[in-house]
Amino acid sequence: MSGPADLPGLTGLPGLPVPLAQRVRERQGDFLLFALTPPRRTTAPEKVAEIAGRTLARLAPLDLDGVLLYDIDDESDRTDQERPFPFLPTLDPADYLRDHLGAAGLPAVVYRAVGKYAPDELGAWAAAQDPTDVLSVFVGSASRDTPVRTTLPAAHALRTEAAPDLLVGGVAIPERHTRRGDEHLRMLAKQASGCGFFVTQVVYDVNAAKNLVSDYRYACLEQGVEPVPVVFTFSVVGGVRTLEFLRWLGVDVPRWIANDLTHAHDPLQASHEHSAAAARELLAYAHASGVPVGLSVESVSARRVEIEQSVALAHELRSLLG
Amino acid sequence: MSGPADLPGLTGLPGLPVPLAQRVRERQGDFLLFALTPPRRTTAPEKVAEIAGRTLARLAPLDLDGVLLYDIDDESDRTDQERPFPFLPTLDPADYLRDHLGAAGLPAVVYRAVGKYAPDELGAWAAAQDPTDVLSVFVGSASRDTPVRTTLPAAHALRTEAAPDLLVGGVAIPERHTRRGDEHLRMLAKQASGCGFFVTQVVYDVNAAKNLVSDYRYACLEQGVEPVPVVFTFSVVGGVRTLEFLRWLGVDVPRWIANDLTHAHDPLQASHEHSAAAARELLAYAHASGVPVGLSVESVSARRVEIEQSVALAHELRSLLG
């Protein structure tokens, strides 16, 4: 409270939520995002506007801190298994935001699959963003064999140069931590190259998520680094096909949950309950451990019932954040 | 309520707890056991009596449904890793029960490492037990290379012949399920050969425990078999050495819990809280899934503070059972 005439800073204004970028910068968690995949590239422009309008109407009651916009890449070179849903190129998330979602005034976290862009293009985009409203997540390629136009380290170097104020996050994968045990060190390395937050893929294995938070926390303590927010993503599953798709994406679903979803009369409702319980457990753990944690909800499939249930899940997660 | 003059059966007598053997036979869970390792074989007889007296005094306030008596076997052929605590032969649990604990009138589950006994010896022991007060758990050898006097299948066949009323349980290992994925099928096979309940080793990985309960439940459903009680065992950890010993015994301790215990100011208290939380979660899950679950507490080490904290843990678990 050192402003002129004791005017409170933005953070201190009672009743006004702290904007996402400021929260992340101040290393606060407890925010809620909704993750969207832009419409397919083949969608007619008037149809895109209609989809965007319907999406914003759905999200309006949620009191979100922001939206997250995925930059979908064909990840079929990541695995030999057949993709359960076909890959269809989608609109550029930055274009979709600018042309269709900007009016809502919601902060946005725009993913960049950096390998898809030339360095100039990526740098120019980063420099053109208003860092109070736009954040980004830089994602490297899914496999070493994918030809890339910009590597992840190059993208971070570019950003530091061209857009020093743009908050950029990285991907953190609890499942990779289960296999290799060093994801917390990767996070610290990414943090050193400029990541100000992390986002996970969909979480069903809370134990793996807690392992990562814990190892990250103690590594931060050891290295004298302050932990940055980690955004955990949750989603519902409407049936066996979506469950298979989650697995194809690399999501570990514990057997007991997979069994429940496979046998449930209403898998959508059952997965909603599992996800809400997982989020609750993870939040309680994060609060106790001092690592700032945010929540994100996505609809893995494009089926209307799954989208609507995801919105209901976001409603419930909002209530967990008080 | 079909007895003469509407006299309730034993189960229905209000205020009187249902004895352990009856509970297990009726496939009810929600009972509490305390697991004991008999004193070392070199202990002087008067000292053994003193230990037993102290133990019973400690356990008296716990309102236990029974005690579990381990039959310790040198398991050093199970693994190449050095045993963190030395192996010291202990008194035969059946002798210890008969000579020192019987007076307490508590039902007892007596372990039999069946490979240690000749078939005649094992059969005679089984036949001599009062099946209303004594149950047993038959344990096979820890490794294929151990020479055995009676194999596990032979022990079950013997028991069916010599002591058809004696309730015998088997060992179920969630960690083995994590590695091989077929522990639920082993349980069903053991059930078919006569096992009326199962007991696990110490549980710190609730997720693994839930996976096993879930797979067991759905396999029972599929085969039209009623699930029998599964007793999950909990313990406290006083420090890094006990944690190492747990791991040596084959217990999976999730990284986030191991981290917490390693960094805790008071690992004993921290492990108590982790164990109570795990038991609470597992019980809630078991109640929802319809698999009867009992709880057992043991002290992994012989240190006085760890024993006392285990008793405190048993107190807390008792309160979970209502």
Q: Name the one residue in this structure whose structure tokens are 């009187």.
A: B16
> Are A255 and B211 an interchain contact pair (Cβ–Cβ within 8 Å)?
yes
Mean pLDDT of chain A: 91
Q: How far apart are CA A244 and CA B6, in angstroms?
A: 55
Q: Which chain A residue has its CA at the smallest distance from B222's CA? A: A263
Q: For B204, what's the count of Cα atoms within 13 Å in the CB-facing half-sphere?
A: 24
CA angle (A58 as vertex; A55, A63 as ends), nearest 5: 115
Q: How far apart are CA B9 and CA A216, in angstroms?
A: 57
> Are B206 and A207 an interchain contact pair (Cβ–Cβ within 8 Å)?
yes
Pairing label, strands B32-36, B66-69: parallel
Q: How far apart are CA A246 and CA A56, in angstroms?
A: 25
Q: For B129, what's the count of Cα atoms within 13 Å in the CB-facing half-sphere?
A: 28
pLDDT in tens, B14-51: 567 799 999 999 999 999 999 999 999 999 999 999 99
Q: Which chain A residue has its CA at the smallest distance from B274's CA? A: A285
Q: Which residues of A touch B215 (CB under 8 A)?
A: 255-256, 259
Asked if B92 contacts B71 with a C-beta cutoff of 8 angstroms, the reply is yes
Q: How far apart are CA A231 and CA A66, in angstroms?
A: 12
Domain boundaries, chain A: 22-318
The A-side interface with B (CB below 8 A) comprises: 181, 205-207, 210-211, 213-215, 217-218, 254-256, 259-260, 263, 285
Min Cα separation B50/chain A (Å)? 43
CA angle (B197 as vertex; B194, B198 as ends), nearest 5: 110
> Are A213 and B256 an interchain contact pair (Cβ–Cβ within 8 Å)?
yes
pLDDT of residue A13: 53
Looking at the predicted structure, is the pLDDT value of residue B110 above 70?
Answer: yes
Q: Which residues of A touch B210 (CB under 8 A)?
A: 254, 256
pLDDT in tens, A62-112: 999 999 999 987 665 556 677 777 777 899 999 999 999 987 889 999 999
Min Cα separation B259/chain A (Å)? 7
pLDDT in tens, B114-173: 999 999 999 999 999 999 999 999 999 877 777 899 999 999 999 999 999 999 999 999
In chain A, % of residues over pLDDT 70: 93
Min Cα separation A118/chain B (Å)? 40
Rounded to a whole number of angstroms, the distance between the first and last alpha carbons of chain A is: 25
Rounded to a whole number of angstroms, the distance between the first and last alpha carbons of chain B is: 24
Strand segments, DSSP code E, in chain B are 32-36, 66-69, 108-113, 134-139, 168-171, 195-202, 230-234, 293-298
In 10 A of CB B239, how many CB atoms? 17
pLDDT of residue B82: 73
Asked if B16 contacts B158 with a C-beta cutoff of 8 angstroms, the reply is no
What is the CATH T-level fold of the domain B22-318, as seen in this structure?
TIM Barrel (3.20.20)
- For B311, the 3-state DSSP assignment is helix
Q: Which two tokens stand for residue A242?
A: 């979506």
> Are B207 and A259 an interchain contact pair (Cβ–Cβ within 8 Å)?
no
Q: Which two tokens stand for residue B293?
A: 């679950």
The CA R_g of chain A, rounded to the nearest whole Å, is: 19
The complex scores an ipTM of 0.85
Choose among A258, A223, A233: nearest CA to A243. A258
pTM assigned to the model: 0.89
Q: How far apart are CA B51 and CA B55, in angstroms?
A: 6
Q: Which chain B residue has its CA at the smallest distance from A215's CA? A: B256
pLDDT in tens, B241-260: 999 999 999 999 999 999 99
pLDDT of residue B209: 98
Q: For A240, what's the count of Cα atoms within 13 Å in the CB-facing half-sphere?
A: 4
Size of chain B in residues: 322
pLDDT of residue A75: 62
Q: Of A181, A206, A218, which is closest to B263 when you measure between CB atoms? A: A218
Asked if A92 contacts A122 with a C-beta cutoff of 8 angstroms, the reply is no
- Give the phi and the psi of residue A46 in degrees, each rounded to 5: -70, -30
Choose among B307, B289, B133: nearest CA to B211. B289
Q: How far apart are CA A261 and CA A271, in angstroms?
A: 7
Looking at the predicted structure, is the pLDDT value of residue B6 above 50?
Answer: no
DSSP bridge pairs for A66:
A33
Min Cα separation A262/chain B (Å)? 11
> Are B254 and A211 an interchain contact pair (Cβ–Cβ within 8 Å)?
yes
In chain B, % of residues over pLDDT 90: 83
H or E element at residue B29: none
> Are B207 and A285 an interchain contact pair (Cβ–Cβ within 8 Å)?
no
